[in-house]
Structure 1
């Protein structure tokens, strides 16, 4: 009984930490004209803006998961699907000859994988077993 709760809490912690990191790194490129922007190279603006704004959704989902709220599973799934959509749009951008950095493709692969995993854990635990989870731990 404790294993599903611990998995959801771990997913929540990952979501919160990933959100904080995403907001910090994306904000540095978007709002600070300095080393972070230069280091970003040929960043794709719509991907950067999406990831920055999604960082706030990561925080919401992560906190919801920490408190084992069923709605957080829906938020995590929405994040995963939106990330896949932006990843597909990035693919169109690349195929169309748009400038990009390979690390953007790697980062979007990582984001997609992480949020698909978090959504799967959250959905399996919070949506299928929501009446079976105790509130303690």
Structure 2
């Protein structure tokens, strides 16, 4: 039991680090801290806002991991939905000829995969144990 919870706490720490990095990067573009907008090039605002919202959800989910709360899965699932909608919006943006950075597509796929991994872990930890 202690070993199982230790892994959950480690997951929470990793999620906090990922959340804080995402929060810093996305808010830097939104609020133009340190002239980041110029350095980011052709960013897609929908993607930046989705990442910003997800970073806040990640912090709540990390708290849920630490406190061993069943609702952690729902929060991470919400983040997955937001990110997938943003990714679809990015694809539409690209299709209609909007400006974007090619690294954004890879970054979104990576973020969706990482969030999905945390969501699956939360499901296995909380929802499956609940049954």
Question: Please, what is the CA RMSD of the aligned residues?
Answer: 1.8
* TM-score normalized by the length of structure 2: 0.89
User: Which digits, 9 at most, give the CA deviation of each residue in 1:45-70, with x for residues without a partner?
Assistant: 11111211221111111111122110
Corresponding position: 1:104 with 2:117: no
Go from structure 1 to structure 2 and tell me whether the alpha carbon gap of 1:120 and 1:37 turns closer, same or farther (over 3 Å shift): same
The residue aligned with 1:49 is 49
The residue aligned with 1:59 is 59
- Alpha-carbon distance, 1:96 to partner: 1.4
User: Which digits, 9 at most, give the CA deviation of each residue in 1:106-133, with x for residues without a partner?
Assistant: 11011100010000010011111148xx
The residue aligned with 2:30 is 30
Aligned residues: 131
The residue aligned with 1:10 is 10
- Alpha-carbon distance, 1:93 to partner: 1.1
Return 5+ residue gaps in structure 2 as ranges.
none
User: Which digits, 9 at most, give the CA deviation of each residue in 1:31-88, with x for residues without a partner?
Assistant: 1264311111000011111211221111111111122110011111111122112111
Contact 1:7–1:121 under 8 Å retained in 2: no
Return 5+ residue gaps in structure 1 as ranges.
132-137
The residue aligned with 1:135 is none
Q: How does 1:89-128 map to 2 (within 5 A)?
A: 89-128=89-128
Greater displacement, 113-122 / 92-101 = 92-101
